[in-house]
A and B are shown apart, each in its own frame.
Chain A
């Protein structure tokens, strides 16, 4: 070991309080540490930023790779994540304001809008490029090959304390949340397989990803939420363009809504211009032909959503699904007893 390394190790031991050092370097280091300890953000700043983040969180809901800030401004604002972050990122939904209360089908039929229509077809997307996460490759779960049925899937299950439960999927074994029943399909669309399941016990929510080919997927999510909580929080409603065609459909005995279309950047996004952890605002326009589908409905105290990945099926036409396919899929969902 070199003298320089020895000195550096000794200096680190000093910083850790394991040894004492004298001299100007040590004295200066103490001054730096003292300065650091005296450097605080103002409490008012902490509170104001906290309030600002809270306000933004109320205006955000999420689709895979596409988070939306909901407001009624002409120039609405969206966020989506760089493609290719993987299924885990795509699966996680940002949802807020969970208040579990009983809910009835009749009320859902009468009052529910699942989309917010923007005042125009123009908007802004904020592209976010997450920083590299060193070591994440080692920590990431081993990918599983797609399978035909849920019985063969080993899901990610989050317990109430947030810990991951390494257990096979047991849809009836939600003993921590007896108010929550998992709905599963009797069959999946031809060409599709189950790729991943997440179950969150804290705010009961199931997310199932179905994949087809190499690049096509859709997601089924099922969130337990009370009627009032849903109505009070616009974050649960996806913002669509002024020209979007919102179609009412019959699903599980209630009225759901279906929209095809997406916010598309006016100019191609050059992600190389964005540093890791940075963001870039991009102008977008609503496109009714974009290959993004979203079906929502509320039944049995659950908000159900089916939505596709933001990847066109042009290159995989055998994977293409439309409104009728998604409605048919939704209508054969059955609670697991």
Chain B
């Protein structure tokens, strides 16, 4: 029992749907372990894309799953479990940086105020998650969120629409515009250059 979370969940649980596992997770910790192993990578990718800082992403990921575990009985089903987890992650990200902002150094504040390096210096560079995260912070928040959920968390358009309270068509536009804005922000070559 003690290695449930650290190891892999039992095979029969790994085959069950999220909703089934979530209903059992309140009373059966192996079920939560199966959900944890199934979704930690998507949750982590989303958080890292929004934070750009590995230690912060690890802290927030840990806080997200801890909060999800404590609040698993509030999951009602009907939505994708991953979307519910990412809702918790959004709250944890906001809280993490709210707590942290009072302790940021002047250098760090300066860095956040000017997140993207000069475009010419990163053209043709290999894309880095830190740079993407910093650039996302400068985008329209809805576009940034749609890009992070679609391309990093791996949610489908209809799931993002539900999470953001927008139509699927609007989400597709947000993702498309967000990718275009992000490319420009990162100084990547334009379609029209």
- Contact of B67 with A by CB under 8 A: yes
A95 to B27, CA, bound (A): 5
A interface SS class: mixed
- Contact of A145 with B by CB under 8 A: no
Cross-chain contact B172 with A9 (CB below 8 angstroms): yes
- Contact of A71 with B by CB under 8 A: no
- Contact of B33 with A by CB under 8 A: yes
Q: Which residues of B lie under 8 Å from residue A31 when comparing CB positions?
A: 127
Task: Please report the total number of B residues contacting A with Cβ < 8 Å.
Answer: 86
Q: Which residues of A lie under 8 Å from residue B49 when comparing CB positions?
A: 36, 39
Q: Which residues of B lie under 8 Å from residue A24 when comparing CB positions?
A: 183, 188-191, 193
Cross-chain contact A203 with B66 (CB below 8 angstroms): no
- Contact of A332 with B by CB under 8 A: no
A90 to B93, CA, bound (A): 27
Cross-chain contact B66 with A205 (CB below 8 angstroms): no
Q: Which residues of A lie under 8 Å from residue B179 when comparing CB positions?
A: 11, 25, 28-29, 32
Task: Please report the total number of A residues contacting B with Cβ < 8 Å.
Answer: 77
- Contact of A188 with B by CB under 8 A: no
Cross-chain contact A139 with B76 (CB below 8 angstroms): yes
Looking at the complex, which one of B2, B6, B27, B72 makes contact with A200 (CB distance below 8 Å)? B27
- Contact of B109 with A by CB under 8 A: no
**Considering only CB atoms, which chain A residue lies closest to B165 in the complex?**
A134
- Contact of B88 with A by CB under 8 A: yes
**Considering only CB atoms, which chain A residue lies closest to B87 in the complex?**
A131
Looking at the complex, which one of B65, B151, B173 makes contact with A8 (CB distance below 8 Å)? B173
Binary flags per residue of B122-163, CB closer than 8 Å to A gives 1, else 0: 000001110010000000000000010011101001000011
Looking at the complex, which one of A33, A81, A131, A161 makes contact with B90 (CB distance below 8 Å)? A131
A136 to B80, CA, bound (A): 11
Query: Could you tell me which residues of chain B, from 103 to 134, have a CB within 8 Å of some CB in chain A?
Result: 127-129, 132
- Contact of A94 with B by CB under 8 A: yes
Looking at the complex, which one of B48, B76, B89 makes contact with A88 (CB distance below 8 Å)? B76
Cross-chain contact A161 with B41 (CB below 8 angstroms): no
List 27 A–B pairs whose Cβ atoms lie within 8 Å, in order of A's numbering: A5-B172, A5-B173, A24-B191, A32-B127, A32-B182, A33-B151, A35-B127, A36-B45, A36-B152, A39-B49, A41-B41, A41-B44, A50-B6, A53-B33, A54-B29, A57-B5, A92-B73, A93-B26, A128-B71, A134-B83, A134-B162, A140-B76, A140-B78, A203-B28, A276-B90, A277-B90, A279-B95
Q: Beyond A39-B45, A202-B27: 20 further Cβ-contacts under 8 Å?
A: A5-B173, A9-B172, A12-B157, A25-B183, A36-B49, A36-B152, A36-B154, A39-B48, A46-B37, A48-B6, A54-B29, A54-B33, A57-B29, A62-B26, A88-B76, A92-B73, A94-B27, A134-B162, A162-B16, A277-B87
Q: Which residues of B contact A (CB under 8 A)?
A: 1-7, 16, 19-21, 23-24, 26-29, 31-33, 36-37, 40-41, 44-45, 48-49, 57-58, 61-67, 69-79, 83-84, 87-92, 94-95, 127-129, 132, 147, 150-152, 154, 157, 162-163, 165, 169, 172-173, 175-177, 179-180, 182-183, 188-191, 193
Q: Which residues of A contact B (CB under 8 A)?
A: 4-5, 7-9, 11-12, 15, 23-25, 28-29, 31-36, 39-41, 45-54, 56-57, 60, 62, 67, 79, 81, 85, 88-89, 92-98, 126, 128-136, 138-140, 158, 161-164, 200, 202-203, 205, 274-279
